[in-house]
Amino acid sequence: MISREEAMLLIRDNIHSKNLIKHVLATEAVMKALAEKLEQDRDVWAMAGLLHDLDYEFTKDNFNEHGNKTVQMLEGKDLPNEVKDAILAHCDKKERESLIERAIYAADPVTGFIVAAVLIRKGTQLVDIDVEFLLNRFKEKSFAKGASREQMASCSEFGISLSEFLSLSLRAMQGISNDLEL
């Protein structure tokens, strides 16, 4: 499998938005934490999280190509099929069948949801956020509208409660708070 350094080169070459880079780093961290919790291959899961939006800046105006373009961009790279399948599954280009496919589907929106929770409280950092605050915001339909509650709640499909999923995701992101500048 390609190294994380090789994946980061692909990201630097193809993603120019600082916020999108932070999003893929956060998704990588959440996927790594989920892999550990579910006793899966953390390197494979982390790689899926890191590369899942590689094509976003190319496909944002033609979202039907999102995911497909990433898989094309990764052609010839030494990556397991489960990484490519997870990339396709996170944006509904493939039915979610495996654990990694279900996990990335839930992990993708949770990172933006947690960032929004930090930004709504002036002067707050990731370390200041707790699960209770996240659960309360989860119930508010007007909060972080772009973060699909349905996708995040799909964590139950792989045996993790919403509270535990938010807690695990928050801890994972807190672990890289310097990289996220939060």
Q: Which domains does the chain have, with CATH numbers?
A: 4-180 (1.10.3210)
Q: 19-77, pLDDT tens digit by residue? A: 999 999 999 999 999 999 999 999 999 999 999 999 999 999 998 999 999 999 999 99
**Overall pTM > 0.85:** yes
Please give the Cα distance from 101 to 76 (Å, whole number).
Answer: 21
Please give the Cα distance from 53 to 67 (Å, whole number).
Answer: 7
In the chain the beta strands, taken as DSSP E runs, fall at none
Q: 141-160, pLDDT tens digit by residue? A: 999 999 999 999 999 999 99
pLDDT of residue 145: 94
